[in-house]
Structure 1
């Protein structure tokens, strides 16, 4: 049995990308995980890589053998795009070299088929505890940022409290510090619609005004990325 869904600070289930081409197994895994996660299912490697790079997920589950693009190559592509989301690799090949290949590509853990669903859930919980930022501070320059409390602490000034949307913006950038996000991608992630790109500039302005201009860097022609304080 599933352990039930635990909502995040937005009142939503954590977002999980599942890339599995098996026509029977994929929907079964997705249905089981849907009690705990907001699941997006892709059935080939090329589409999976596109969703992994363009979307914002809390954790990913990727099958080793996929049509279009092998699971290990998918993981490499995700890491080349500087997406740091934790990845669990599913493999029917239980050999040590196969597991090493997946881990070397950038996967954070692996699970050999066939597996028990309870173990899959336990592995995902462990990944999110280890690689997530839900309970700890994120260091931005000399400041400590606590996404769950929407607070950022300076060593010299009083703590700054962000609004929910300002926090969503900074959380997104802080979770992927080397990645540049387009206005469209940010709007889709924090505002729920790609047609609100203009509002992104306003939230960037609000965060910069509350903290310092350098906290968010404008990459001309591309969008925004995390800066420094």
Structure 2
């Protein structure tokens, strides 16, 4: 990964989406735009994002439908709803659907950026480690601690790969997706296989399962 926090922006207004992309990019985020609810739900379920900025009035699937779909799929990525619907009942509906924050349009740019930073900061402090069967990963410290108490230091890329797999243990990741999410500076999908091999050599083959013809998913320590 390139070290930047990843933000998914779900907004169908092309002008506003472009403005949000520029603002968030200038604040240091890697930004992906989804222009309808179906795309937003798909990327939210399959991608690794640190925060989602979600419009309620999306085509195909509305924002609350996207949010319920994400939460129903076990995705805990923090969501900021950004909507022209700003009455107290509207806010209650959004928060009850699973959003962490709600900001009405029109909005102040500095406030939006501050709220995104707060979401990511709060989530990072709440989830300092990622559990997987047989151990846990301290992503910031790049350290795996097994249930028997033994500890292993990983490289940046090993830790990045294990974190992506462990945060979505039931998802099958294609090599192309892992290349995009973990090895953004590489163009050879073979680098994914290389680092899968490195992790298996340290923790055993069962840690990462091969799904033939598709890719990889999280396994368990044998």
**What range describes the TM-score normalised by the shorter chain of this pair?**
0.7 to 0.9
Structure 2 residues not aligned, in runs of 5+:
none
1:26 paired residue number: 17
Q: Which stretches of structure 1, 4 residues or more, deviate above 6 A after TM superposition?
A: none
Instruction: Give the Cα separation in 1 of the matches to 2:121 and 2:180.
Output: 26
Structure 2 CA distance for partners of 1:133 and 1:177, relative to 1, 3 Å: farther
Structure 2 counterpart SS, 1:225: strand
Alignment deviations for residues 95-152 of structure 1 (CA, whole Å, 9 cap, x no partner): 3443333334332322122222222122212211232379722233453311122111
1:73 paired residue number: 65
Instruction: Give the Cα separation in 1 of the matches to 2:216 and 2:76.
Output: 17
The normalised TM-score by structure 1 is 0.79
- Once superposed, what is the RMSD of the aligned Cα atoms? 2.9
RCO (CA 8 Å, sep 6+): is it higher in 1 or 2? 2
Structure 2 counterpart SS, 1:132: helix
Say whether residues 1:47 and 2:36 are aligned partners. Answer: no
1:14 paired residue number: 5
Alignment deviations for residues 163-211 of structure 1 (CA, whole Å, 9 cap, x no partner): 2222121011122233332333223322338974444333223212212
Structure 2 counterpart SS, 1:30: helix
Instruction: Say if 1:45 and 1:66, in contact at 8 Å, map to a contact too.
Output: yes
Structure 1 residues not aligned, in runs of 5+:
1-9
Structure 2 CA distance for partners of 1:134 and 1:164, relative to 1, 3 Å: farther
Following TM superposition, by how much is the alpha carbon of 1:158 offset from its aligned partner in structure 2, in angstroms?
4.2
1:204 paired residue number: 196
Q: How many residues align?
A: 220
Structure 2 CA distance for partners of 1:197 and 1:25, relative to 1, 3 Å: closer
1:191 paired residue number: 183
Following TM superposition, by how much is the alpha carbon of 1:27 offset from its aligned partner in structure 2, in angstroms?
2.4
Instruction: Give the Cα separation in 1 of the matches to 2:126 and 2:178.
Output: 20
Instruction: Say if 1:134 and 1:147, in contact at 8 Å, map to a contact too.
Output: no
Decide which moves more: 58-67 or 48-57: 48-57
Instruction: Say if 2:80 and 2:103, in contact at 8 Å, map to a contact too.
Output: yes
Following TM superposition, by how much is the alpha carbon of 1:81 offset from its aligned partner in structure 2, in angstroms?
4.3
Alignment deviations for residues 199-229 of structure 1 (CA, whole Å, 9 cap, x no partner): 4333223212212333323445543332334
